[in-house]
Chains A and B, each alone.
Chain A
């Protein structure tokens, strides 16, 4: 089975792009499914079902979403193999921009949208910076110049990725993205032993363990003090 990790900021069009891409793959006889990773709740599984795309859902609830991804990707992979998919997509929202689900030797797709502002590509962090493919959405509603400026900022953030515009609404670019994914994705026999492309943040601090009180005496473990200069 081929495995693809897809990540991007909330509401950038990840689900729409994956749906359009899977429809293109299906039209060419390839069987694909999705595991949607989210934090508190998601209705996106219903959207996949509308298109009869097999979907599994994982909510991280009270644990960090990217840690949750790392600890559950083996289960997601097993589900994909048992379901007999040719390609398994994982979809996860980059919630704090600090982490990324991308794995070495697994094709990594980042999705960002033209409406998010030109400096966003540089703020998004490892999920964009370590991606192999960057799909840029919502290009149909902004000007040519803004598309060009945005794409340049994506390239400044990630000089190696293949950049491709995709329209999640009408599917323009989804065929091309599906081709690119099929060409770039390796057959993966197991995810056990694979490495994350980028390490997770230094933990653990007292707040990771449920502390709610403010104050130095309540803080243990990894603490990074903020120092603001006098004005």
Chain B
């Protein structure tokens, strides 16, 4: 046996299937300590602390620095990124090695994401669970599918092929899987405006799973679901706005509109009667288009 053969044997043996078991995040809050904007001017806001189950929206023009803020969070910035921000976990600076743990801090969901694995939904969920060292019994598979089906119009099953799901079904499964199977305590939602799913319910599912939800969006219905909005300009956080009672009313009306469109779409799809959609006792004309 040559040196080459021995080295190869050792290398292949080394990758034997010892399972990976990462420490899970024990996170109850994250805090953004202000840094500077693109011009080097200090950000004027107070420290922003977000708790488990909280939804915070990030707004600002394209290129204003939304992605940088999210990258600062994911990277657990310690005044060592272009913004000089610092991210605290549970009020303290985390261990620097936490940056490279296999369990990412932030899970991401966006409209541009697709499933590329060529497997059935059940097998996909089992693979995901396995990668985290969780046992995936039939009941847990059922939980995720049930949650997904509550978000999308058309139901999927464990036998559905991933690559054959519709856009809405894919998005619904991604959200349900992230809520129930992902270990990341923070979920970033980027542009799910036209995803064909019930967004209010999607956010509620993630909140219920004790995630901190950060939504980067230009969509008023989604933006107003959050109790707070972070406004970004010129690479910095310009302000943090709390949702006012008037905005809460706006949010309620927007969700009625959403519900109106969804019900109308479902009625259309199933060949139902559309006349009732003009019934003012069911849908107040002032709130619906």
Pick the residue among A125, A172, A200, A201 that contacts B11 (CB under 8 A): A125
**Alpha-carbon distance between A16 and B55 when the two chains are bound, in angstroms:** 34
Q: Which residues of A contact B132 (CB under 8 A)?
A: 148, 152
Q: Which residues of A contact B5 (CB under 8 A)?
A: 202
Contact of B178 with A by CB under 8 A: yes
Residue-wise interface mask of A (114-154) relative to B, using a CB-CB cutoff of 8 A (1 in contact, 0 not) = 11001000100110011000000001111111111101110
> In the complex, how many angstroms separate the beta carbon of A145 from the nearest chain B beta carbon?
4
- Nearest chain-B residue to A151 (Cβ)? B102
Interface of A is mostly: helix
Contact of A162 with B by CB under 8 A: yes
The stretch from B112-120, B146-154, B195-203 touching chain A is B112-120
> In the complex, how many angstroms separate the beta carbon of A170 from the nearest chain B beta carbon?
7
Residue-wise interface mask of B (85-112) relative to A, using a CB-CB cutoff of 8 A (1 in contact, 0 not) = 0000000000000011010100111101
B11 touching A152, Cβ below 8 Å? no
Q: Please tell me the number of chain A residues within 8 Å of chain B, measured between CB atoms.
A: 41
User: Which A residues between 36 and 60 are near B, CB-CB below 8 angstroms?
Assistant: none
Q: Which residues of B contact A85 (CB under 8 A)?
A: none
> In the complex, how many angstroms separate the beta carbon of B261 from the nearest chain A beta carbon?
26
A145 touching B177, Cβ below 8 Å? yes
Give the A-B contact count at a CB cut-off of 8 A. 103
Q: Which residues of A contact B80 (CB under 8 A)?
A: 179
Contact of B234 with A by CB under 8 A: no
**Alpha-carbon distance between A42 and B158 when the two chains are bound, in angstroms:** 45
The stretch from B13-21, B45-53, B239-247, B276-284 touching chain A is B13-21
Contact of B71 with A by CB under 8 A: yes
**Alpha-carbon distance between A163 and B124 when the two chains are bound, in angstroms:** 23
**Alpha-carbon distance between A141 and B110 when the two chains are bound, in angstroms:** 9
**Alpha-carbon distance between A114 and B110 when the two chains are bound, in angstroms:** 16
Contact of A157 with B by CB under 8 A: yes
Contact of A173 with B by CB under 8 A: yes
A173 touching B71, Cβ below 8 Å? yes
Q: Which residues of B contact A156 (CB under 8 A)?
A: 15, 17-18, 20
B2 touching A145, Cβ below 8 Å? no
B115 touching A198, Cβ below 8 Å? no
Pick the residue among B116, B124, B131, B184 that contacts A152 (CB under 8 A): B131
Which residues of A approach B to under 8 Å, CB–CB? 114-115, 118, 122, 125-126, 129-130, 139-149, 151-153, 155-157, 159, 162-165, 170, 172-173, 175-176, 179, 198-202
Given contacts A118-B127, A126-B11, A156-B15, 6 further A-B pairs with CB under 8 A are A141-B113, A145-B181, A152-B132, A163-B100, A199-B4, A202-B4
